[in-house]
Amino acid sequence: MIDAQETGAGSIVKDTKISIAKGIGMLLVVAGHCRGAVTFDPFLPYTFHIPLFFFITGYLTRDDHMRSPGDFVLRRVRSILVPYVTYFIGFGIVSSLLLAVLGIRNDPLPWYTRQGLVNAVLLGQPGHLFVAGWFLLSLFLAIAMFCACAKIAEKMGLSDWTAVTILLPMTMLCIWYGQMNGKYKGYEIINLLLARNVVGTFFVYCGYAARNSRIKIYGHRSAILAGLFLFQFSMTRTFPEKIGFNIELNSYNSVWMPFLTSFCGIAFVFTLSSMLESVSKKDWLVRIGDNSLHVMAMHVAVFQLINIILCLWYGYSFDAISNDQALVINWPMTWPAYVFLGLSIPVLIIEIYRRFASAMFPSRRSKVSTG
């Protein structure tokens, strides 16, 4: 979600491998947001897909960014928070129009009410068609917390991995707190505003440390992929009661299992992306990865658009799709179409907008942030 091409010096460096990794990650996110996907028990990407994006964000953070962490965070305000607010208001208006015109309800709590705004601004729960937008606010807060932690570690003379090691028990404590599930007053605010974002900060820091350590993959990559997949699959079968994973609510069935499955999944995606980097037919994944923020923001709305069209085509009642943005009509036959369109339409919209903006304002670069 952070700009993959930005360096502290303002130069442009294209890292195709990371674009592919983000593209793979978004493919897994969109596929998993179709409600029927959870019937695969478990849907393996849900054991690591969000930590993957936190890790990639840290991996893309350079040392020259850390020389001025305040400026770095301010740039993230423009590239993350501004799109978050824009999409929240835009999809809020669309949701209100859908309710007024078609009777389709996308959020039991109106987005423009006091509680709706509190949920979106404070807790990162925007609701309506922007339900996946929680991640953008959480990502921004994790970046800000990471910058603070990295600055403290630098002043104390701690190495990156030493800082990660110190942060690990704090992260486990926050995961444990998430398991309290409302037992204490103020639980939700502490859990979603602090504990959830400490978990995100940990994976951002891990990505940063991994980049600085220049960790490379050795051995036959196909064998590594097979080994990682078998390990992940065996964990889900050996410890099925510990696999529950919902980082949006900081809710886990186990304190230690998320680390195993997350790092295994991250290694799998990075290994796969390094293999695909040399493949000629990779443009689609690269374009998705370069626009991952917008795919994350728009794909649920694309699902709703598909559902509206199918309801009109088959004569279904719109009540069937109210408050169920993840519904896939005629599952699983239509699942590939939902996933493909959920990935492709946001990319096309943003690319068309950039071309239009470039034509209208040729003297300056489009301000639309990349993924």
In the chain, count of helices (H) and strands (E)?
A: 15, 2
Residue 229 resides in a domain: yes
Are 252 and 176 in contact by the 8 Å Cβ rule? The answer is no
- Residue 5 domain flag: no
pLDDT for the residue 41: 59
Domain count within the chain: 1
pLDDT digits (tens, 9 = 90+) for 169-221: 999 999 999 888 766 777 888 888 889 999 999 999 999 999 999 877 666 88
Can you name the residues that pair with 251 across neighbouring β-strands? 246
Is 44 inside any structural domain?
yes
Cα 77 to chain center, whole Å?
Answer: 17
Q: What is the pLDDT of residue 14?
A: 66
* Cα 213 from Cα 161, distance rounded (Å): 9
CA 170 to chain centre: 22
Q: Does residue 9 sit within a domain? A: no
Give the pLDDT band of residue 108 (cuts 50, 70, 90): low
Residue at 336 is within a domain: yes
- Looking at the domain assignment, is residue 124 inside a domain? yes
Query: Is 4 domain-assigned?
Result: no
148 Cβ neighbours under 8 A, 6+ residues apart: 69
- At 38, is the pLDDT very low, low, confident or very high (cuts 50, 70, 90)? low
Work out the percent of the chain whose per-residue pLDDT is above 90. 52
Closest by alpha carbon to 25, among 187, 196, 262? 262
* pLDDT tens digits, one per residue of 114-169: 777 777 777 667 777 888 889 999 999 999 999 999 999 999 999 999 999 999 99
**Rounded Cα gap, residues 59 and 211, in angstroms:** 5
pTM, two decimals, is 0.91
HSE (side-chain half, CA atoms, 13 Å) at 122 = 10
Q: Torsions phi, psi of 41, nearest 5? A: 40, 85
* Half-sphere exposure of residue 283: CA atoms within 13 angstroms, side-chain side: 2
| Residue 2 domain flag | no
Expressed as residue numbers, the domain containing 288 is: 16-360
Indicate the pLDDT class of residue 6, thresholds 50, 70 and 90.
Answer: very low
Give 12's DSSP letter: B
The C-alpha atoms of residue 4 and residue 85 are separated, in whole angstroms, by: 22
Q: Cα angle vertex 73, ends 284, 25, to 5°?
A: 25
Where residue 244 falls among pLDDT bands split at 50, 70, 90? low
The tens digit of pLDDT for each residue in 251-276 reads 888 999 999 999 999 999 999 999 99
Nearest to 344 by CA among 28, 84, 83, 27: 27
